């Protein structure tokens, strides 16, 4: 998230495209959604957009059990997250 914060949209997409992390695809999808919402809902010019804020918060955790031998069970935590990207126009 620190890589794209404060960058214009074209630079942010280029950075995310060449970032070899699994989360880069998710952040790119959220960024595309934010740009589309800014263009369609708020009549913003896409060429003037930049990433104003980008952060990730912890989401709900799904708790599952993994059966083990002798009647034991291990707890498996399936973690989720909330990704937030806010775009704005440069004036």
In a domain, 44, yes or no: yes
Mean pLDDT of 34-52: 96
- Dist CA 72 CA 54 (whole Å): 42
Q: For residue 63, what is the domain's CATH number?
A: 3.90.470.10
Residue with tokens 């990704």: 83
Domain count, the chain: 1
Which structural domain, as residue segments, surrounds residue 17? 9-89
Mean pLDDT of 51-79: 97
Predicted TM-score (pTM) of this structure = 0.87
In a domain, 19, yes or no: yes
DSSP string, 6-25: T-BHHHHHHHHHT--STHHH
In a domain, 1, yes or no: no
In a domain, 14, yes or no: yes
pLDDT band at 91 (very low <50, low <70, confident <90, very high): confident
In a domain, 3, yes or no: no
Mean pLDDT of 23-34: 97
DSSP-based three-state secondary structure for 1: coil
């Amino acid at each position: 998230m620190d890589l794209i914060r404060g960058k214009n949209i074209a630079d942010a997409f280029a950075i995310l495209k060449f970032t070899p992390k699994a989360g880069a695809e998710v952040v790119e999808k959220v960024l595309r959604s934010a740009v589309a919402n800014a263009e369609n809902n708020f009549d913003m010019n896409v060429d003037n957009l930049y990433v104003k804020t980008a952060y990730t918060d912890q989401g709900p955790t799904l708790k599952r059990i993994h059966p083990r031998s002798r009647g034991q069970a291990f707890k498996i935590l399936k973690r989720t997250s909330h990704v937030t990207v806010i775009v704005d126009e440069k004036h």
